[in-house]
Amino acid sequence: MTLQASAAMPENSAVAPDDPSRQEARMIAEAWGAGVSLWEIDFQSNRTYRLSGGSGPLSLDPRAGTSPVARWGASAHPEDAEEASLRFRSHLAGKTDDYDAEYRIRDKAGSWRWLIERGRVIERAPDGAAVRMVGVCLDIDACKEAELGLLRKRKHLEIALESARGGMWDLDVAAGEPRHTDFFHHMLGIEGAQCREPLLWSSRMHPEDGPRVREALKRTIDGAEELYESMYRLRHADGTWRWVLDRGRAIDRDAAGKAQRLVGFIVEIADPHSLERQIIEIANREQQRIGNDLHDGLGQELTGIALMLRGIGAQLRKEGSAAYFDIEDVIGLVNVAIESTRALARGLSPVSAERDGLVAALQALAARATERYGIPVTFEARNAECLPFEETAATHLYRIAQEALTNALRHSLATAVTIVLSTSAGEVQLQVTDNGRGFSSAALEKSDGLGLKIMRYRAQMLSGNLAIGNGVGGGATVRCACPLDRSAESASVTSRARRP
């Protein structure tokens, strides 16, 4: 019995529950519900039979009818056909256990869509020639476009970093040396075989900076610091030293909390005192864009997939199919992916990810800090529920609060922290206070750390000022005050200036 014949069997045929025809018919229904096209090739008759009677999600069957290989070749994308065909022929020749390929094919509407196709020869002649082959074909166009979209965003980020004289890097901790994008080599005037030197990064670091940089990196790897950050010198091919700012974050940790992999960016800085603008211009613009795309793009698509799977699961449960439990497992994995995507979006674009803007973002920041550090962090909004801020201005205030809160939780030995956002007499005030040991006299006098510089720069962008000090009853206070109308105006001007 061919697959085509079994697909045509009437639904109400009188057959036993365990009859192979009934089992095959049920498999047809399940495949149809999941959007999967099943096919069988009879190489002796040179025909392909389709399992389901419908036309499938592509409005075509890429291997249906006579001369299946020729018909497929006429519809497959020229850039993908050669590789897919090579894999197909390799399996027919018995060189691989199965056939597996991703490619684009033109549907009846004339559009290119991505498929994943898998198959296996199930019958061979005595001489090894393929006689029968079965396989499945699944439309993965939406997932593939999401994947390609993320790759395009990464490329955009690389271009933006290179425009600001910066590049990206990826560190496998076990390997010991980070892998940099091409800009790193251009920045140091390195060409040809020099680009493949095994200790390229560490060997070109200034001897005076090396211990400090390695210690900062070790603290992040060990989990003592969440963010790696260092400013140091690298030797150019012409023998001169170039200042760079290097920042990164662990994206994979083992059960003990030790980082297995870090990613980050490195920016060349001609003047170390002007690096604030370079950091913020790159980080804000790209983080907000990628965060929005993750939340509104990939997150929504994953939600749609979860809903579709629930519909399939309901049908399978109604039919009493054991595959229902597999669908439930897949739904669980998709839901985890949705939550991960939303968490990434909140980290990259925290204000836009929250429905109620800055107030909701600060409330969420306090809640997450309390959960993570085990120290109560409270947030109060006083007449600040409807601030006329654009997203850029709100993000500046959020990052100031985030930096001040992080410092308090990590360095002050505080047991409680309070964040207050308030408005009064045309001014918005953000204040972060703790009950810890406060700032030392030396820290108040020097106050030139990178985090503090960036907070001050953000306050200046809002036409405001930043003040740090110790409270009357002890503990530290970080306070940012800026004109309410000037803040909104500043954000609007900045946003317009950045539009292409």
The tens digit of pLDDT for each residue in 167-210 reads 788 999 988 889 888 888 888 888 877 777 878 898 999 887 88
DSSP secondary structure of 253-267: E-TTS-EEEEEEEEE
Q: What is the CATH number of the domain that holds 221?
A: 3.30.450.20
Say yes or no: 491 and 364 in one domain.
yes
Angle, helix 391-411 to helix 357-373, in steps of 10 degrees: 20
**Whether this model's pTM surpasses 0.85:** no
Say yes or no: 20 and 131 in one domain.
yes
Residue 278 domain flag: no
Q: To the nearest whole percent, how much of the chain has pLDDT over 90? A: 19
Q: pLDDT of 346-387, one tens digit each?
A: 656 666 655 567 888 898 889 988 988 899 999 998 876 667
Residue 75: closest CA among 119, 41, 105, 120: 105
Q: How many domains does the chain have?
A: 4
Which band of pLDDT confidence, cut at 50, 70 and 90, is reported for residue 150?
A: low
Give the domain-ending residue among 139, 162, 180.
Answer: 139
User: Rounded mean pLDDT of the chain?
Assistant: 76
Which band of pLDDT confidence, cut at 50, 70 and 90, is reported for residue 22?
A: low
Alpha carbon distance 196, 178 (integer Å): 12
Least confident of 244-248, 413-417, 461-465: 461-465
Q: What separation in angstroms does the CA of 230 have from each of 129, 218, 233, 265, 272?
A: 62, 12, 10, 11, 12
Give the domain-ending residue among 202, 237, 270.
Answer: 270
Say yes or no: 45 and 89 in one domain.
yes
Residue 279 domain flag: no
Alpha carbon distance 408, 438 (integer Å): 9
- pLDDT of 10 strictly over 50: no
Least confident of 11-20, 78-87, 113-122: 11-20
Domain of residue 318 covers 284-348
Residue 305 domain flag: yes
- pLDDT of 229 strictly over 80: yes
Least confident of 38-47, 282-291, 323-332, 390-399: 282-291
Say yes or no: 41 and 128 in one domain.
yes
Which band of pLDDT confidence, cut at 50, 70 and 90, is reported for residue 332?
A: confident
Least confident of 27-41, 220-234, 423-437: 27-41
| pLDDT greater at residue 222 or residue 281 | 222
Residue 78 domain flag: yes
Say yes or no: 313 and 396 in one domain.
no
DSSP secondary structure of 366-405: HHHHHHHHSS-EEEEEES-TT----HHHHHHHHHHHHHHH
3-class DSSP assignment, residue 72: helix
Residue 260 domain flag: yes
- pLDDT of 456 strictly over 70: yes
| pLDDT greater at residue 174 or residue 289 | 174
**Paired tokens of 116:** 């994943």
Give the domain-ending residue among 109, 139, 169.
Answer: 139
Quick one: pLDDT at residue 40?
85
Which band of pLDDT confidence, cut at 50, 70 and 90, is reported for residue 446?
A: low
